Amino acid sequence: MNKRGDNKTPLSDLGKYGLIDHLCSELKISHKSTVRGVGDDATVIDNGNRYTLVSTDLLLEGIHFNLIYSPLKHLGYKAVIRAMSDIFAMNGTPSQVLIALGISSRFFVEDLREFYEGASSACEKYGADLAGGDTTSSLTGLTISVTAVGSVEKNEITGRAGAKPNDLICVTGDLGAAYAGLQILERERRLFEKDRQIKPDLGGNEYVIGRQLKPEIPAGVLAMLRGKKIRPSSMIDITEGLASDLMQICKASGTGCRVFSKNIPTDYETVRVCEEFNIDPLIPALNGGDDFEMLFTVPVELYDKILGIGEVKVIGHITEKGSGNFLVGADGTEVELTAQGWKK
């Protein structure tokens, strides 16, 4: 019961994915061309020769970004990355991006040009056209909505469902860096707000700050997988945190999982920053989010092929349905995975 005592359910009782399930559980698909609706990284539409992929992402000032330390050019870049990452997570290729903005009167034309320079740069790097959108006025801060469109060969599509028992659980890159970068930025923001004469001290933290403000998609690694004729049995981009996103794969696939803490990759700079803030590096690696790496599964027979891709680490394996989702410590102790996720 909420404070008004009217028996309404607080959003925090459900969380992000629970709310989506609740709102969309009774939706019906009426078009044959709609192959997949809610429940994956992108909507899948059959256009005849290939599948069209469509994904939308929403960012709100004060929730997803803080303009005190987020340059508008970087923000435009990251906003596009967030949407295009979903297309790559379906094993697809982005082709168009549309941006809608809610803009308050404190912004100037030059500010928005900076934002679009960043957005255009991301589109150019990953081969998409910035093809349209919308703008409207806002009474509060900046609201950003990005829609990414792409496509994939029908026999190459992946999604959250498809993982099978004994499949290897793999990740690209390293995890927890974006969270570590956010801790540095937030610390300097608080110091600056107390004393405007203080200059931010960001030296030595370029990697983790870059992972927070200007993330990249591991498109090159996905190209290597295709080059080795490896199609993941399931895949998702890591935006909510390894634990939460892996649990989404297990839920969609009807499986459990075992992940080994010693195998979860973290960068040395992430570890150093976590030590500085007295944080176990495993915590942001599991729950930090915003890493934009790819989490995927492959049949165990492909182990040798996967080992040949240095940017990919095998961190565990998929288990039978009903076996639970567990993190295995260095001493063999198993702890049940929990999804921190979105609770606002």
As a whole number of angstroms, the distance between CA 337 and CA 344 comes to 21
User: What is the number of other CB atoms lying within 10 angstroms of the CB of residue 153?
Assistant: 13
CA-wise closest residue to 176 among 271, 75, 56: 271
User: What pLDDT score does 5 carry?
Assistant: 54
Which pTM was predicted?
0.91
Give one DSSP letter per residue of 12-38, joined into a string.
GGTHHHHHHHHHHTT-----TTEEE-T
User: What pLDDT score does 3 carry?
Assistant: 53
Residue-range domains of the chain with CATH? 44-152 (3.30.1330.10), 168-336 (3.90.650.10)
User: What pLDDT score does 197 carry?
Assistant: 72
In the numeric block, which tokens belong to residue 2?
């909420």
User: What pLDDT score does 263 carry?
Assistant: 97
Q: Which residues in the chain come in under a pLDDT of 50?
A: 1, 341-344
User: What pLDDT score does 66 carry?
Assistant: 95
